Amino acid sequence: MEEKQKDNFKATKRKNVVTEKRRKTTHKSLISKENKEHYKEGYKSRKVQGNKSILDFKFKPSNLKIIALGGLDEIGKNITVFEYEDEIVLVDCGLEFPEDDMLGVDLVIPDVTYLIRNKEKIKGLVITHGHEDHIGSIPYVLQQVNMPIYATRLTAKLIEHKLEEHNLLKTTKIHIVEQGKTINLGKMSVEFLRSSHSIPDAVMLAIHTPVGTVVHTGDFKVDYTPIDGQMMDLGRLAELGNEGVLALLSDSTNAERKGFTLSEKSVGPVFDNLFEGCKKRIVVATFASNVHRVQQIVNSAVKFGRKIAVSGRSMMNMIDAARELNYIDAPDDLFIDIDLIKNYTDSQLVIITTGSQGETMSALTRMANGEHRKITITGNDLIIISANPIPGNEKNVSKVIDKLLKIGAEVVYNTLADVHVSGHACQEEQKLIMALTRPKYFIPVHGEYRQLIAHRDTAMEMGIPRENIFISNNGREIELNQDEAKLGGTVPSGRVMVDGLGVGDVGNVVLRDRQHLSQDGLIVIVMTMNNVTGEIVAGPDVISRGFVYVRESENLMEQVKTFIREEIRELEERHVKDWGIIKSTLKDDVRDFIFDKTKRNPMILPIIMEL
């Protein structure tokens, strides 16, 4: 009996194995040839129907691509592409201010060639906050790629001002999104999370995609006592962490600084101390976008009975927008027109101005140079520079302070009093965001290379494996899914320079020429030649600009003219009549001659006219 049962059991087992093999063969045969490659990328799971267990086939979702077109290995020009299949969501679209060697350049914007090529995929541009390094390039990009914009109230108002200046307001759709709300953009949705920064209405973004949720912090600090009482939504970040965060992109600006960033509220008592008992006129220079700082200046002015006048167009625009949206709480009669300051004594006035970075054309710099049309600095002025110099601006700020002190004004700046706090998170705040979100992958953004490295090290302290941290470059693709993340190919990226109305017509060659001219000057050689004989009919005349003062260097100029005549004579003897050869020969030989005589290397520009 037992042997019979064993035989039945073995037969049943063989039958089940055969049945399973046939079922698998049948399942595979149903897959068309064109889907076989996709099948390899798919996965199988069992599901139960009635009493039967069947194999269910599903395709793997596509990878999410994250591509920074700006903001990596630099401060500013922040713009990031989130691409899933045939859809793109953009985050921020900022500019960068020119470096010292970018002579004559007004602004630097990102290269958006990739967006132009894929403009039909773009579902929308989402903005984290209203600073120039996040919204400044919008008018220039919209001229090439039109797309809807999603932003919070103050940010949207600032964008509207920019678009109005460029005559783009009527052709652009701007959608105002409240903090805490979610917008659907095709296969992706974007959740706006309340954040803290040095400008109201800043948000972090939770970008929900088919492969997982990506959190983008934008610029942030963790301020437990914000001026407007609107605390960062740490609770929602924790919820997202519990639900599972695929990747975290986090602000790296202060990644090298340990500890916490001080609360913006800490500046208020410092202002009160400076205002109290002061009989001088008070001039405060700060960032135009720092509405919370302006609110604290307003609070001190009201407390000590002073009126406020505003100087600087960007500051006026920001304060007007903030007051319109009730982000600045001030009595109606507090602000006065700058033309009316002569009607008040110095002890009754506060002037809020731009120029905290020593910008050449800013209001404070013009005051220091004695060139401001409406404000003259005297020894009865207290100047408060309520900002830290951005790296690279230290020398300009120092020059402005020196000039103000020479006039006799009293100047208070960051090394003398705590009149400024940063709007960016230090290491402990960055750790808090990582602890709340617990991301699988980490991508430091918004910083120079050393800051990205410092942020990577902080992430490793928090237990994120080094292989899950990606320090990328502008234009480099990062491809993500639940199982893996990897660096992909590259797309066009870089800097586009804006000079006046010209966008992109100043490149490296033009900059090199400008630098050459600024360092060594220019010599122009003008002469008229007979196009048949090659003889000089008139000239040569030698014109110098930025090389030597001609009236004091007549001997040198005559030597150059004599040398040119001899060169032309040699070329005639060699029967050289091609103008291109004559110009290039003159250019090279005159450069060598002048270098031997002066050890200088001016730009040589031969101009030959035919007769």
Active site residues: 251, 424
Residue 99 CB neighbours (<10 A): 12
**Pairing mode, strands 536-545 and 522-529:** antiparallel
Show the DSSP H helices in 196-338 as ranges. Answer: 234-243, 267-275, 291-303, 313-324
Residue of 485, 598, 6, 503 whose CA lies nearest to 247: 485
Helix (H, G, I), strand (E, B) or coil at 229: coil
Which residues share a beta bridge with 240? none
b/e string for 475-509 if b means 16 or more Cβ within 10 A?
bbbbbbbeeebeeeeebebebbbbbeeeeeebeee
**CB contact at 8 A, 174 and 164:** no
- CA–CA distance, 41 with 36 (Å, rounded to integer): 9
Edge to edge, what strands does the sheet with 495-499 contain? Answer: 107-110, 495-499, 502-506
End-to-end CA distance of the chain: 124
Helix axis angle, 153-165 to 313-324, nearest 10°: 140
Helix, strand, or coil (residue 415):
coil
Residue 43: in which H helix or E strand, if any? strand 43-49
Amino acid at 125: L
Exposed/middle/buried for residue 183 (C-beta within 10 Å: 0-12, 13-18, 19+) = middle
Structure tokens at 104: 């004559």
DSSP per-residue letters across 357-414? T--TTSHHHHHHTT--SS----TTEEEEE-SPPPTT-HHHHHHHHHHHHHHT-EEE-T
42 Cα distance to chain centroid: 39
Bridge partner list, 190:
183, 207
Lateral strand order in the sheet of 307-311:
335-336, 307-311, 349-353, 281-285, 381-385, 410-412
Nearest-5° angle of CA 152, CA 479, CA 432? 55
